[in-house]
A and B are shown apart, each in its own frame.
Chain A
């Protein structure tokens, strides 16, 4: 019995939302309420997960486990940004400037670091993957789109060249569409398994 209750709750929520989306107006009000509940519960799940993260690092500090210095850094920055938001308010511009001054350089530098790491990875593509139809077209396609991204060919303003470039820029649509349809079918069937109780992400 304990195992079937979660399955019934998941199936009930899913079937109600699908019915409300198909029937439209009569259930629109209730659908909004259920969506509101889901947003509140998802927000609470994130808060609980953040609390678990903080408790874990607190335990590391108390136990003096290796790497507890980083736990101190994490907890102190968390407290500063969380208490600062509650004291000054989340929309306070001075507080937002401090958050931006820390997050922006860190995230931009991480993405910039990804560019440097991709340069090194690009050298090894063929050594690690070997020659295959996929890797060969991947390499040639990457070279072609790098040249197009330079913008030098477009600047020549040669009509034929521009037409070829426009056509090349639409060519990846075919592979992307096939990928989207394939992944869509896979995700659709996984969603149906969750609704039917075949896939129970919460455990057994």
Chain B
């Protein structure tokens, strides 16, 4: 019972520390939110890809990942939305608009809302079509089956796989590699990260996949979140070291 109370208290302390560091990061870095932050090269390439797609009149395809059937989207499922936001804003007047594909109903609906918002901001709502944010399949393998033909689309400039991707998306990565298409991938699934490391995808390992908004410099809140993550990381390390010493000395039972 003592163990459970400790875990509950530690969990609440972690959430409070996270809130505190997020607030401090928002206040302290309001002027230069993105300064002195390491950016993942994979996501920096994303910017170039968007320019190239616009210049060559080609299309960008983004897979937003899967989620459990009839479940609310978790934060890790939303990792691809900042990239979709930037991509659809840039492709409103392109020859070929961006194409978003999701493996979950809520994600597909969120994709449509984002793309529709960008067309509305650009006063071009008549060009919006619901096809721009589609459900690829209702189950993880149906999502893969719906994603492969879109990766193979003739005039693709690049493919993005961001969000909760499963390891079988190596089939999509291999198809993109065979067609010499640049692929930017990021997922919270450990197996998928290991399998995508074996391809030539531009990979966001670990939590970098969740910080697309900061890397693309399109969301100051995301940059503040990255700062807060670093402070939480340092606090966790200090906590581990202090806890180890206290436990070793028997001060903390």
Measured CB to CB, the residues of A under 8 A from B are 22, 38-39, 42-50, 52-53, 55-56, 59, 67, 70, 106-107, 110-111, 113-114, 117-118, 120-122, 124-125, 128-129, 134-135, 138, 176, 179-183, 185-194, 196, 198-199, 201-204
Known: A53-B134, A111-B168, A121-B170. A46 touches B70 (CB 8 A): yes
Give chain B interface residues in 168-210, CB to chain A under 8 Å.
168, 170-171, 173-174, 188, 190, 193-195, 197-200, 206-207, 210
Known: A53-B134, A181-B236, A190-B210. A110 touches B18 (CB 8 A): no
Task: Check: B243 CB closer than 8 A to any chain A CB.
Answer: no
Please tell me if the beta carbons of B108 and A52 are within 8 angstroms of each other in the complex: yes
Please tell me if the beta carbons of A189 and B138 are within 8 angstroms of each other in the complex: no
A53 surroundings in chain B (CB, below 8 A)? 134-135
Please tell me if the beta carbons of B72 and A125 are within 8 angstroms of each other in the complex: no
Please tell me if the beta carbons of B149 and A49 are within 8 angstroms of each other in the complex: no
- Chain B CB within 10 A, most for which of A182, A183, A204: A183
A201 surroundings in chain B (CB, below 8 A)? 73, 78, 81, 110, 114
Known: A120-B174, A199-B219. A183 touches B210 (CB 8 A): yes
Question: Residue A22 contacts which of B12, B112, B130, B232 (CB distance < 8 angstroms)?
Answer: B12
Cα distance A43–B104 in the bound complex, in angstroms: 10
Residues of B in contact, count (CB < 8 Å): 69
Annotate B115-152 by CB proximity to A: 1 below 8 A, 0 otherwise: 01100000000000011001100100100110001000
Please tell me if the beta carbons of B188 and A121 are within 8 angstroms of each other in the complex: no
Task: Check: B105 CB closer than 8 A to any chain A CB.
Answer: yes
B36-44, B220-228, B245-253 - interface stretch: B220-228
Task: Check: B241 CB closer than 8 A to any chain A CB.
Answer: no
Smallest beta-carbon distance B12→chain A, Å: 7
Binding site secondary structure of chain A: helix
Please tell me if the beta carbons of A199 and B134 are within 8 angstroms of each other in the complex: no
Known: A121-B199, A125-B198. A52 touches B130 (CB 8 A): yes
Question: Residue B210 contacts which of A39, A186, A196 (CB distance < 8 angstroms)?
Answer: A186
Task: Check: B74 CB closer than 8 A to any chain A CB.
Answer: yes
Please tell me if the beta carbons of A118 and B170 are within 8 angstroms of each other in the complex: yes
Please tell me if the beta carbons of A187 and B75 are within 8 angstroms of each other in the complex: yes
Please tell me if the beta carbons of B106 and A45 are within 8 angstroms of each other in the complex: yes
Cα distance A70–B153 in the bound complex, in angstroms: 14
Question: Residue A56 contacts which of B15, B134, B173, B225 (CB distance < 8 angstroms)?
Answer: B134
Please tell me if the beta carbons of B198 and A46 are within 8 angstroms of each other in the complex: no
Please tell me if the beta carbons of B206 and A179 are within 8 angstroms of each other in the complex: yes
Cα distance A122–B196 in the bound complex, in angstroms: 11
Task: Check: B19 CB closer than 8 A to any chain A CB.
Answer: yes
Other than A49-B105, A194-B75, give 6 A-B pairs with Cβ distance below 8 A: A42-B105, A45-B105, A53-B134, A183-B206, A192-B19, A201-B78
